Amino acid sequence: MKSPEILRDVAQTIEDVEKRINSLKALSDKNKQKALRLLNEAKRNFLELSENVAVENEELANFFLKRAVRLKNNTNDKYIEKVGEKEFMKDVQAINKYSKAAPYDFAGEVKALHRAYRAFLFGMIPFYIVSGIFGPMYAFTALILIIPTLLAMLSLRKRGSLGLMLSFAVMPIPMVMGAFSIRYAIYALSNPEELARIAENLGRSISFAQGVVVLMGILGALSLVLLGYASYSLYKHRHAFL
């Protein structure tokens, strides 16, 4: 495989950038320290990854090398004076982000992202079902969340940072709804009058009403557990999203 060698070249190029940082006059001392910290972390990440490559991806490795070489060529006072410190630091931060995202492409860690995505998807489905059961007000809330949910799913599959942000924005309401469904199911099953009211509204038997309540509780629990796992997993692997 060529990827390990290329990734070591990326780390070496980043080390060359580090050597140039201290000689810069157009970069403030504060940004110098920040840049050195980010670059040192990126260098270590790429070196460690070069020893643990499980998936060959020469094209992506070459992309990282090109970005590192470009940063090296731009690490001079003339460039920084032209574009400003802020833009230069964005390039440094980009290399650092790439180093944190790379293991998901080269070390086989992408499987964890697939599990998180499925947990998010299958955790949202019960929410929409339960919202329909509870009535128009809850159904309207679910309708509002449909577009951001779809956008989150599409972006998560492409490992976009927008999908990560949208998923965290969307999940709280379904999780609260899941907890409410469990609480309501427990209340209804222990209250014959509530079961009778549900049966009357549905025009069905008490047994059928009990089944509906149990289903609501199960769906609520599924939504809460799956979205809880998705929240934890997506946050844990947040560096995979660019």
State what percent of residues in the chain have pLDDT above 90. 67
Q: 108 pLDDT exceeds 80? A: no
Provide mean pLDDT across the span 40-48. 95
Residue 219 has pLDDT above 90, yes or no: yes
| Residue 1 pLDDT | 74
Of 40-44, 89-93, 137-141, 195-199, minimum mean pLDDT range:
137-141
* Mean of pLDDT over the chain: 91
For 57-116, give the DSSP string.
-HHHHHHHHHHHHHHHHH-SHHHHHHH-HHHHHHHHHHHHHHHHHTHHHHSSTHHHHHHH
Cα angle: 64, vertex 69, 70; to 5 degrees: 95
Residue 135 has pLDDT above 80, yes or no: no
Average pLDDT over residues 62-71: 95
Query: Is residue 236 over pLDDT 90?
Result: yes
**CA–CA gap between residue 68 and residue 217 (Å, rounded):** 53
Contacts 24+ apart (CB under 8 A), 22-28: 24/75, 24/76, 24/77, 24/80, 25/77, 26/77, 26/80, 26/81, 26/85, 27/80, 27/85, 27/88, 28/85
**Distance between CA atoms of residues 157 and 224, nearest Å:** 22
User: Residue 193: its pLDDT value, please?
Assistant: 87
Contact 187, 194 (CB under 8 A): yes
pLDDT digits 0-9 by tens, 90-104 = 999 999 999 999 999
pLDDT at residue 139, rounded to an integer: 80
CA distance 119 to 228: 9
**213 contacts 181 by C-beta, under 8 angstroms:** no
Mean per-residue pLDDT, 116-127 = 94
The label of the residue with tokens 């990440």 reads: 45
Amino acid making up residue 44: R
Within 13 Å, how many C-alpha atoms sit on residue 169's CB side?
16
Res. 18: pLDDT tops 90 = yes
pLDDT recorded at residue 198? 83
Q: What is the pLDDT of residue 222?
A: 95
| pTM score, whole prediction | 0.82
* Rounded (10°) CA dihedral 112, 117, 121, 123: 50
